[in-house]
Amino acid sequence: MSASPNSTPVNVIAENEEQFRDFKLLNAVNDRYGGVIIEITEPMDSALFASLLRASIAQWRHQGKKGVWIKLPIQHANLVEAAVKVIYRLLQPNQAVLRAFLKNPEGFWYHHAEPNYLMLAYWIPESAHTLPANASHRVGIGAFVMNEKREVLVVQENTGRFWGTGVWKFPTGVVDEGEDLCTAAVREVKEETAIDTKFVEVLAFRYEICKQESEIEAAKWMPFDEYAAQPYVKNNDLSKYIADICLAKKERKYSGFAPVPSTSVFSNEKSYMYFNTYDLNGQ
């Protein structure tokens, strides 16, 4: 998937564009959705890269390709401008091509960036692109931990929205990249309270964008009834629902989603599937 001045030459003849004859193309691999992926691995002059890219797009257009992805490691950032400003007049000179390029005369756009690379994208067909947006969400967890004395593990923050309010809350945190929910829950409880726990199941899901809460002022075991009696829990619908779900679980009136190690047809790597094992097993 590398691109270099030693790319393989092929015959590319665009209508009335003889300059593409015997022109070298960028090395690329096909993706599963009718597009191509270029990953730059070697240094390259930006002018040469621009020429290779124009010829390559002409060939991919002729082949009916759709999305074009360019992965640029940070050490090859000099090629960004060349990709963004690819000139449409050097491609196949027909009205459909011109209309497509006029909609996006700057060529490639930024799709996403990571610490060590930038991903650029381009849509060849004369239609609205269907390229997926970059991942934009974080997953947070709240851990309901109860001991044999019917005490629930709660904490008070020394930063964040609950700092100084006197509210006792469940340990919470954010799932790390590539981390399973069950692992994250155990880890966050250990980090915030030094308590070792065993993950049982997912009791509920909710969706919200919020900042990470990682600093804790205090932690202790509290009778569940005392926790549920806090004005913040009683007067807040979301908190009350969570308390009700946790209590129903303790009284064996509710079953959530337990993690079961599994593999898939896509990968032999172990991962977790979450489902209601209680009802599935008829227990």
Q: What is the pLDDT of residue 266?
A: 63
| Residue 9, pLDDT score | 37
Domain presence at residue 6:
no
- Same-domain pairing of 119 and 205: no
134 belongs to a structural domain: no
Identify the segments of the chain with pLDDT beneath 70: 1-23, 86-106, 206-216, 265-266, 280-283
**What tokens appear for 195 in the block?**
């308590």
pTM of the model: 0.50
Question: CATH number of the domain that 90 lies in?
Answer: 3.40.630.30
Residue 135 lies inside a defined structural domain of this protein: no
Non-local (6+) Cβ contacts of 82 within 8 A are 46, 47, 49, 50, 53
Domain boundary among 93, 123, 153: 123
- The runs of H, that is alpha helices, within the chain are 46-62, 80-84, 95-103, 181-193, 224-228, 231-235, 237-250, 277-280
Q: Are residues 149 and 256 in the same domain?
A: yes
Q: How many domains does the chain have?
A: 2
Question: Does residue 216 lie in a domain region?
Answer: yes
Predicted pLDDT of residue 275: 80
The domain that holds 225 is classified in CATH as 3.90.79.10
Range(s) of the domain holding residue 225: 140-281
Q: How high is the pLDDT of residue 259?
A: 82
C-alpha span between 49 and 15 (Å, rounded): 22
Q: What is the pLDDT of residue 252?
A: 77
AA letter at 161: R
Q: Is residue 225 part of a domain?
A: yes
| Positive/negative CA dihedral, 139, 274, 227, 155 | negative
pLDDT of residue 283: 57
Q: Identify whether residues 152 and 247 lie together within a single domain.
A: yes
pLDDT on residue 208:
65
Any catalytic annotation for residue 191? yes
Do 275 and 146 lie in a common domain?
yes
Catalytic-role residue among 106, 114, 191, 215: 191
pLDDT value at residue 32: 81
User: Is 197 inside any structural domain?
Assistant: yes
Q: Is residue 57 part of a domain?
A: yes
114 with 148, same domain: the answer is no
Same domain for 99 and 162, yes or no, is no
Please report, as a single letter, which amino acid is at residue 248. Answer: A
- Predicted local confidence at residue 20, as pLDDT: 45
Alpha carbons 70 and 84: distance in angstroms, whole number: 11
Domain co-membership, 83 together with 27? yes
Q: In this structure, are 73 and 162 located in the same domain? A: no
Q: Is residue 59 part of a domain?
A: yes
